[in-house]
Amino acid sequence: MVTKSTAAERTRASTEPGVLALVIVLAWLVPGAGHLWQGRRQKGVIFLLALPLMFVTGLLLGGRLFPLQLSEPLVFLGAIADRGIGLPFLIARFMEAGAGLVTAVSYEYGNTFLMTAGLLNFLVILDAYDIAVGRK
Amino acid sequence: MISHFWTMVLFAAFVSVVFAVLLRDAPREQVKTGGLMLLAFVAVAYVLAWLLYPLPL
């Protein structure tokens, strides 16, 4: 007989290293997915809406998705922050968005939105990890 | 194109929502924390902007 696993059972199971890694990857790839998977529906839905929307706003404001250039430390850090959002970043790259319009008045605003969305998702990933190991 | 002020308010709103949901579990507390955080962000930015206004930057 097949039974559906409850959120509590998933939380208990998530203390296993493989499952923990899955939670982290899932939470990185889709903002809020780590929370949704662990039964924190309200938080997950808010992250799922707010973070990609913030990322898209950054793109609309003419922000740039920075390349991973070790020769330019600040650009490299910006690139790490950009990649924190996961799937929206990959989709934007696939669609060749985020070239950045340096002459746009909102260029720096766009960059700030893009990087902050990624950095906030890093915090969301840590929160999902804390839930998975039973700290929250 | 929205103004600098409203772009800043939009940014503050996104950050406030995410932080409030991360820090609080009850929806009522989330709204309260998020609202206070948004007000604080905007107020501090407004005061800083006026303080920096006379400087020749």
Q: Which domain holds residue A74?
A: 7-132
Q: Is B47 on the interface with A (CB under 8 A)?
A: no
Number of domains chain B is built from: 1
Residue B57 has pLDDT above 90, yes or no: no
A70 φ, ψ to 5°? Answer: -70, -25
Is B37 contained in some domain?
Answer: yes
Is B32 contained in some domain?
Answer: yes
A30 by DSSP, 3-state: which?
A: coil
Q: Is A101 on the interface with B (CB under 8 A)?
A: no
Given this model, what pLDDT does residue B55 score? Answer: 86
Instruction: Answer whether A101's CB lies under 8 Å from A62's CB.
Output: yes
Instruction: Answer whether B26's CB lies under 8 Å from A128's CB.
Output: no
Q: Is B31 on the interface with A (CB under 8 A)?
A: no
Given this model, what pLDDT does residue A1 score? Answer: 46
Q: Is B11 on the interface with A (CB under 8 A)?
A: yes
Q: Which of residues 102-121 of A touch B (CB under 8 A)?
A: 105-106, 109, 112-113, 116-117, 120
Is B57 contained in some domain?
Answer: no
Q: Which residues in chain A have their CB less than 8 angstroms from residue B11's CB? A: 109, 112-113, 116
Mutate to test the interface with B, among A45, A103, A109 (most CBs of B within 10 A): A109
A64 φ, ψ to 5°? Answer: -115, 140
Number of domains chain A is built from: 1
Q: Which domain holds residue B23?
A: 4-52
Residue B30: closest CA among chain A residues belongs to which residue? Answer: A43
Q: Is A46 on the interface with B (CB under 8 A)?
A: yes
Mean pLDDT of chain B: 92
Residue B16 has pLDDT above 50, yes or no: yes
Q: Looking at CA atoms only, how far is residue B29 from chain A in angstroms?
A: 13
DSSP annotation string for A16-28: SHHHHHHHHHHHH
Question: What count of residues does chain B have?
Answer: 57
DSSP annotation string for A32-89: THHHHHTT-HHHHHHHHHHHHHHHHHHHHTT-B-----TTSHHHHHHHHHHHTT-HHH
User: From the CA atom positions of chain A, what is the Rg in Å?
Assistant: 17
Is A2 contained in some domain?
Answer: no
Average pLDDT across each block of 10 residues of chain A; the chain has 136 residues. List them in order. Answer: 54 70 91 92 94 95 90 90 94 88 88 96 94 84
Given this model, what pLDDT does residue A114 score? Answer: 96
Please tell me which residue, A99 or B43, carries the higher pLDDT value: B43
Is A50 contained in some domain?
Answer: yes
Is B27 contained in some domain?
Answer: yes
Given this model, what pLDDT does residue A115 score? Answer: 95
